[in-house]
């Protein structure tokens, strides 16, 4: 079960690295701001500082999950469990917060939260 949890935590980390790239690096590109429902460049420019900050949060969660996966397979196994639980738990919580902003965000919340919830389930089963 720990192997499966590691795989899903790693995949969740990769998704959050991708979200970081979108929010912190590519935000002002029309192909990116359209993904997030913005309708024009002015809106993208106005929200860029917020997106930049949010992207870094996503990267930090990804790093936490990745370090947790590595630690899970070392002598620091308990620290690995704790880091994975914190990182993917936060990812899942963030997806629920996103969903609380409206049903139109269901797809984005599912992308953000599905892999973390599966990782959490298998993490709990592996303890």
* pLDDT single digits (tens) 13-31: 999 999 999 999 999 999 9
pLDDT value at residue 127: 85
Looking up tokens 């959490």 gives: 120
Evaluate whether 99 touches 114 at the Cβ level (below 8 Å). no
Residue with tokens 């953000």: 112
Contact of 23 with 57, CB cutoff 8 Å = no
- Which ranges of the chain have pLDDT less than 50? none
Structure token pair of residue 98: 């996103």
- pTM to 2 decimal places: 0.93
Q: State the pLDDT at residue 61.
A: 98
């Amino acid at each position: 079960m720990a192997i499966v949890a590691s795989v899903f935590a790693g995949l969740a980390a990769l998704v959050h690295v991708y979200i970081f790239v979108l929010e912190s690096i590519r935000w002002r590109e029309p192909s990116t701001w359209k993904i997030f429902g913005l309708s024009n460049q002015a809106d993208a420019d106005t929200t860029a500082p917020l997106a930049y900050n949010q992207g870094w949060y996503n990267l930090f969660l990804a790093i936490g999950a990745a370090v947790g996966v590595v630690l899970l397979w070392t002598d620091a196994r308990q620290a690995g469990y704790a880091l994975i639980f914190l990182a993917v738990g936060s990812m899942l919580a963030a997806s629920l917060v996103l969903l609380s902003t409206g049903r139109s965000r269901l797809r984005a919340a599912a992308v953000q939260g599905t892999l973390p919830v599966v990782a959490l389930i298998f993490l709990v089963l592996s303890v």
